Structure 1
């Protein structure tokens, strides 16, 4: 076949691209034939006779000579045209050739690396490469696939059959948690201290046995256990070891006792059944609960008093406590009635006095006897704060033997809403320069000031002012040193024993001692100052005093057109610190120091005492050498802190 002759332009581009793109072929891939040169003519002589081939060759030779004799001008024009085209191609491909050369180099390196790795993978044992043009597909494997399919099918059918046999035709072999029955029953409402009985039921309603079964009850805080129909485990009153529970095994246990708690509060009983199914290794738990409310107590409480009050004006409230024969339950052996207003209340008087405590506004009550119909309790005092409305509350509380008042339950309550009127005469107190509660010590002076101010637009006449010190008492004598009282206005002093441990000292001023109290005009105020010392250990045996608080209160009575009124101040509490002393003694013997600490205290007991010291320098100390009459000693050698 005669190959067509390429143009100079195609030749130029082919050379450019061939030089820019250097493509390497794998050794085992057939290479492309290189294109024949432009000046070479290929003649196919395979179908010619020798004579025809000779004539053809001679004819071509004559044509070649003839062509060689053509004018050189035509050749020069052709070369000039090719040169112009070559320059244009060079300008267009100048930038791309450089990039292609760089990429070609990288691709060549990667290709060589790939050829080497492929050769290592595909080479035969003798180092030669296989013929990659021919692949033979190996027949076989159909039997193996059929065998695997058969095995999988048989396994699936076997599992389905086992499931149907076990769970459909023999359901008893399966453990069902819902077939473990547990319940607790009892009253939903009971009276305070009433006898109660709770029945706990449990049953294994299936064929799977339950191993290691045990029962646990958790009682509310107000339940007192008395007995059970089945004895609990030793040293407990809420644990039962049941052992194995076979099919349909079960029983009930009755729990008996008394239930106490605040009125209206709900008490929760919880029971736990722990067990291990025979076809399991883990422990299961079933839970049941029962709630019971304390509906009431066999006692009634009522309160009466005014609907409107004024700040500082004396007001009385009466509480009636009576048995309630219609209610169930029993009363605890210890009872107390507590008056609890929303705001500060200055207590002036409590009736009956027996069992009453002014500072706490409560009465201790003996248990009611069957023949007692009702008992009245009256408290008189003044509110020293509040705006709009406030609530006066009273509670009857009770507690068992072995309990304290802080553990008491609420047995009955009563309340009364009060409307507060505008205050006409304000009364305020100051103790040692403070209108807040403070601390004082034995031997210290209490400088008290009482101020009364007329807030109305009219004069207030015949005003009486009263200042009260409710202080610790021992053997009927107050801890306040009344003979040393300093009062420039010379008020009247009256003493009153409020309880075995508290005595009141009262100073009263009227127009007879202070002319300014005869009439206080609108907007005016009157100030009275006194100074009263506290006894020290030099004056009395402080250890004989059982309380350590001084209540400072004040009020004023005045007359207006509608009658006589009373206003009270917000009371102050003065806490008496103990007269604790701390002394250090140091006895030196050459390089040894014997240090003694002396802690003295003659007033109310102290607790949680802690003393510490920091040591400096080269100190050698061992806690074993210390004499510790009380408590314990701790020494940090690294920090040298004792």
Structure 2
């Protein structure tokens, strides 16, 4: 049995002796461990700490000085105060003044000061105080602290009512304690809310078709100064025919020009006309007046009058190619015209007559020899149907005619003309009264005479070979042909012209091309050939392009023509009619009907 013995307990004296042996210094003394003494720092550490402290103090002083200096400097330097005096709402045509004030509100003098004035083109300058150093610029010079000044401009706005305008002044200045320039801008926004030029319009509240209706436009200058270069534009309903105006419109113009209108002066313009047979219900006639500058009209006032047009006893209308509107037509086309008329009243209408008048500034492009006049009689450019008999209540009739157009125009032929149809009746029931009604005129404008000719050739016109290989084409042998595209046009200038076709899979593109104008491209992925021309002037008349293709026939082609291209499409825009023109031309083959040296040599034969 093992017995564990406890260690022998040491006395306090023994413990003190042992600790003394551990902590006793070289001088035989035990240090006082109840407090700690701070060790001395090295000289380098003390120098670094002092340097850092000194730099921090210098930075603090510098920043403090900067803030004090900058507050004083900039507050004292921002000395230029700007303002604008003048109305924010004005009348167009009325004289107005604006004063641009500037003041040095600080203590630092301004060494140099200048102003540049930017005015809208609608502001017409009359005078300035003081006069500018050069156009729109003033050199003011130095400005001491507390000093001020002003520049006043006087003029008139000729601008749209309503519109917003802005006057802007740019000031450039240099304080005496700076070597660089500063700039400041002040802007005045002005609303044009009214005008000295006034317009009023009067007219009938109700009107009958065929009866004369009168409208009066009054123009007045309510200002204190003359106004110049005015334009009055009428806006007539589509179914209103102007028969007379006082003063008369100048030939070729659809508006009146007033050179000068003195203060307080009123000018009246009278319009007389009739509503056509197709007019019905409320019709709006309007007019506007404005200042004109560089062919830009600044509208000052506009008015409208609504007239309720009551249908007449007899109504009629004109339809051309299915429409009663202005339209375009192609050369060689036949105009299908229908004139229908009806009695909408309760009385019999007797002694009816119709007249179709065609008008143009040149010869009419109509082939009268082939025309169907629908039973009418032609005298010059008029077709008349007299003695149409009676028209019972609720009865209607129609006249059909056809007018074929020329396939080609001469220099003396018109490319536009107007159809006017009038109806005259002399008796309604027991009342004998001659009345004349007019239909809304229809203007026909001819599209340009663009045409394209497509052909393939092996020989030139003089018999020289331009193709290669055998003719007729042989199985397994390569033969090349040249395809020509020729475009003709002489009536109107064309834009965005595009000729295109695609190649069959058995045809090879030869990368040999030429054009008079435009660009010819081939897309190997889509197998599409496209010739584009941005613009073709009518005076040019013609454009051409060519490209070369190759074939290598197979046994299955023996005895047949080989197709060289698919259908060719021609597209263009007529710059006069704005019509998109489009034509298609059939595919071309190795038949070569226009190549007299290759005629009969287009079918594939066996290889020799």
TM-score range, shorter chain: 0.5 to 0.7
- Among 447, 454, 469, the alignment partner of 1:577 is 447
Cα pair distance change 1:375/1:280, threshold 3 Å: same
Q: Where in structure 2 are there 5+ consecutive unaligned residues?
A: 10-34, 468-481, 503-508, 524-528, 533-608
Distance in 2, matches of 1:564 and 1:149, equals 118
Which residue of 2 is the match for residue 319 of structure 1?
216
Give, in angstroms, the shift of residue 609 of structure 1: 6.9
1:213–1:241 contact (8 Å) kept in structure 2: yes
User: SS of 1:617's equivalent?
Assistant: strand
Distance in 2, matches of 1:599 and 1:239, equals 59
Cα pair distance change 1:480/1:176, threshold 3 Å: farther
Q: How many residue pairs are counted as aligned between the two chains?
A: 468
Within-5 A mapping of 1:54-69: none
Give, in angstroms, the shift of residue 520 of structure 1: 3.6
Which residue of 1 is the match for residue 82 of structure 2?
181
Summarize deviations over 1:467-516 as a string: whole Å, max 9, x none: 65564314xx65666787532332686x8xxxxxxxxx665656x1x23x
1:334–1:367 contact (8 Å) kept in structure 2: yes
- Under a length normalisation based on structure 1, what TM-score does the superposition of the two structures give? 0.55
User: SS of 2:511's equivalent?
Assistant: coil
Distance in 2, matches of 1:176 and 1:386, equals 71
Summarize deviations over 1:215-265 as a string: whole Å, max 9, x none: 4443334234577654466xxx44667788775676544546554233554
Which residue of 1 is the match for residue 187 of structure 2?
288
Which residue of 2 is the match for residue 462 of structure 1?
350
Q: Does 1:450 align with 2:336?
A: no
Which residue of 2 is the match for residue 24 of structure 1?
none
- Among 198, 213, 223, the alignment partner of 2:123 is 223
- Among 81, 101, 106, the alignment partner of 1:206 is 106
Q: Where in structure 1 are there 5+ consecutive unaligned residues?
A: 1-38, 48-135, 496-504
User: SS of 2:510's equivalent?
Assistant: coil
Distance in 2, matches of 1:377 and 1:596, equals 58
Within-5 A mapping of 1:232-247: 237-238=135-136, 247=145
1:321–1:376 contact (8 Å) kept in structure 2: yes
- Under a length normalisation based on structure 2, what TM-score does the superposition of the two structures give? 0.57
Distance in 2, matches of 1:166 and 1:353, equals 73
- Among 303, 306, 323, the alignment partner of 2:204 is 306
Within-5 A mapping of 1:368-387: 374-382=267-275
1:187–1:196 contact (8 Å) kept in structure 2: no
Cα pair distance change 1:418/1:350, threshold 3 Å: same
1:264–1:296 contact (8 Å) kept in structure 2: no
Q: Does 1:415 align with 2:299?
A: no
Which residue of 1 is the match for residue 402 of structure 2?
531
Cα pair distance change 1:335/1:508, threshold 3 Å: farther
Which residue of 2 is the match for residue 606 of structure 1?
493
Higher strand share: 2
1:184–1:271 contact (8 Å) kept in structure 2: no
1:466–1:506 contact (8 Å) kept in structure 2: no
1:337–1:365 contact (8 Å) kept in structure 2: no
Distance in 2, matches of 1:463 and 1:274, equals 85
Distance in 1, matches of 2:242 and 2:228, equals 30
Cα pair distance change 1:220/1:173, threshold 3 Å: closer
Which residue of 2 is the match for residue 355 of structure 1?
249
Cα pair distance change 1:258/1:490, threshold 3 Å: same
Cα pair distance change 1:260/1:525, threshold 3 Å: same
After superposition, the CA RMSD in angstroms is 5.5
1:465–1:556 contact (8 Å) kept in structure 2: yes
Give, in angstroms, the shift of residue 394 of structure 1: 1.7
2:288–2:301 contact (8 Å) kept in structure 1: yes
Q: Does 1:618 align with 2:511?
A: yes
Cα pair distance change 1:246/1:254, threshold 3 Å: same
Distance in 1, matches of 2:366 and 2:290, equals 34
- Among 147, 170, 181, the alignment partner of 1:272 is 170
Distance in 1, matches of 2:4 and 2:170, equals 107
Cα pair distance change 1:222/1:618, threshold 3 Å: same
Give, in angstroms, the shift of residue 205 of structure 1: 3.3
Work out which of the two has the higher radius of gyration on C-alpha atoms and give 1 or 2.
1
Cα pair distance change 1:191/1:548, threshold 3 Å: same
Give, in angstroms, the shift of residue 307 of structure 1: 0.9
Within-5 A mapping of 1:623-634: none
2:365–2:409 contact (8 Å) kept in structure 1: no
Distance in 2, matches of 1:165 and 1:465, equals 101
1:267–1:292 contact (8 Å) kept in structure 2: yes
Q: Please, which moves more after superposition, 553-562 or 390-399?
A: 553-562
Distance in 2, matches of 1:424 and 1:641, equals 58
User: SS of 2:512's equivalent?
Assistant: coil
Within-5 A mapping of 1:441-590: 441-442=330-331, 444-454=333-343, 458-459=346-347, 461-462=349-350, 464=352, 466=354, 468-469=356-357, 471-474=359-362, 486-490=372-376, 509=385, 512=387, 514-515=388-389, 518-522=390-394, 524-534=395-405, 541-542=412-413, 548=416, 550=418, 559=428, 572-580=442-450
Which residue of 1 is the match for residue 234 of structure 2?
338
